[in-house]
Structure 1
């Protein structure tokens, strides 16, 4: 589930198709001062600056925050543990996808340890929407 001003959303899927899902919605606006430094790894800040230079119409900092929120929402039901912002390195691709590489041991699905959480994003109508889904055997 997710919500922000002007948007409410939820996602569900059959357990046979999806091991976990995480969704987030944020206003398409820059993060408040200091928040990016608090939530982003140095490499993420560098990549975010490069994306901003390439396409300044997207609030890449808020998109990174939203992606991290979606990763956490998919992570927690599988592990029951907190995932700090510094424990996943997210690479955002302007094509509408992102990938979070876990920097801590991930959950085991179908006998395989998960090391990456793949996601998608959409920027539209004043919103940033992100989603992560993991198949039952990631």
Structure 2
């Protein structure tokens, strides 16, 4: 699914469940030695996705260890993002000469737990999320949450500063995909812009989203030549669960 949202220069690998053949490097295994079986499986499978993506870039397998704020530490010259949720694991990578950053997120296409929407949404977003969906199969509140996670997972590795849920005001556009699959684009307006890599404030991210097989995925990419005032994902680190 995730590769449908990425531009040229990016590679991705995803699976819809556990990868029984996946293994960990010793330093990775030490991080989850005392966690639950589910956490170890998610951690292991998403790293298998990452190593397949590294191979697609022509790079050897390497440990993927969490850094500050759980952002994955990639090999020199590589940018990327990982995500996992119930029933889905994915990684997307690129060389930093092609893209300055990638942020992806996946969520089950199910309503958010009670109280979560109110804690993440600005008043306009809250009204939009409660107004219905793009067809019966899409939960708007979960789409909003996923897009905000993708914004954070793009923002933090790129700028190195915190971004709260209420620092990004997100609006969505819908387009009908194959077989009626809900998909479209989104724009995140940063309410407290900070200087980007070139010194100019970053005001906006744009990305793409889709829903299929009971999963919502969102993606933002920042072209290496445009990590400036407006950065976008051309058509076709997680605070909580990126690694």
Relative to the length of structure 2, the TM-score reads 0.53
Which of residues 51, 58, 65 is equivalent to 2:138? 58
- Partner Cα distance (2:103, 2:121) in 1: 19
Name stretches of at least 5 consecutive residues in structure 2 with no aligned partner.
1-81, 176-183, 232-243
- Partner Cα distance (2:94, 2:194) in 1: 22
Which of residues 127, 130, 136 is equivalent to 2:218? 130
Residue by residue over 1:10-43, the C-alpha shift from the partner in whole angstroms, topping out at 9 and shown as x without a partner, is 1111211211110001001010111100000001
Compared CA separation, residues 53 and 72, structure 1 to 2 (3 A): closer
Compared CA separation, residues 65 and 101, structure 1 to 2 (3 A): same
Does 2:110 correspond to 1:29? yes
Residue 53 of structure 1: CA displacement? 5.7
Q: Which residue is 2:121 aligned to?
A: 40
Alignment of 1:1-138 (within 5 A): 1-50=82-131, 52=132, 55-95=135-175, 96-136=184-224, 137=226, 138=231
Compared CA separation, residues 9 and 36, structure 1 to 2 (3 A): same
Which ranges of 4 or more aligned residues in structure 1 deviate by more than 6 Å? none
* Bigger mean CA deviation after superposition, 78-87 or 119-128: 78-87
RMSD of aligned Cα (Å): 1.5
Relative to the length of structure 1, the TM-score reads 0.92
Count of residue correspondences: 137
Residue by residue over 1:58-94, the C-alpha shift from the partner in whole angstroms, topping out at 9 and shown as x without a partner, is 1010000000000000000012222100000000111
Higher Cα Rg, which structure: 2
Greater relative CO, 1 or 2 (CA 8 Å, sep 6+)? 1
Compared CA separation, residues 107 and 3, structure 1 to 2 (3 A): farther
Compared CA separation, residues 16 and 46, structure 1 to 2 (3 A): same
